């Protein structure tokens, strides 16, 4: 399976676990939300174990530990689809 997003390998954590950074706009595209902000993307990403990347070499990034980027992406896409369905349901109920 090829990767859908542009992942950047960064220094491993103190325990040697591999870490990867992805730009927050990935979550804007996944959720089809034109009003997505960095804070909203971070809130969604936290559900997958992402944290804000504070390194100077990559601004606007969210970092996650992952031994399988394919599995991480699959999980992100499935969750984004669920969020879209929930959003449609809420809009339907409000009208």
Going by pLDDT thresholds of 50, 70 and 90, the confidence category of residue 9 is: very high
Percent of the chain with pLDDT over 90: 40
Contacts of 67 (CB under 8 A, 6+ apart): 17, 18
Which among 18, 24, 31 is positioned nearest to 6, based on CA atoms? 24
Q: Taking the complete model, does pTM exceed 0.85, yes or no?
A: no
What pLDDT shows up at residue 35?
Answer: 86
What pLDDT shows up at residue 64?
Answer: 94
Query: Structural domain boundaries of the chain?
Result: 8-94
Give pLDDT tens digits for 28-83.
888 887 888 999 889 888 888 899 998 888 888 999 999 999 999 998 888 888 88
Q: What angle do CA 55, 45, 90 make, to 5 degrees?
A: 150
């Amino acid at each position: 399976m090829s990767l859908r997003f542009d992942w950047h390998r960064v220094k491993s954590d103190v325990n040697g676990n591999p870490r990867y950074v992805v730009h927050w706009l990935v979550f804007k595209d996944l959720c089809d939300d034109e009003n997505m902000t960095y804070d909203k993307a971070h809130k969604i990403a936290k559900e997958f174990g992402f944290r804000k990347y504070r390194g100077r070499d990559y601004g606007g990034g969210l970092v996650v530990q992952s031994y399988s980027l394919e599995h991480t992406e699959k999980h992100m896409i499935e969750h984004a689809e669920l969020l879209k369905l929930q959003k449609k349901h809420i809009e339907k109920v409000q009208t």
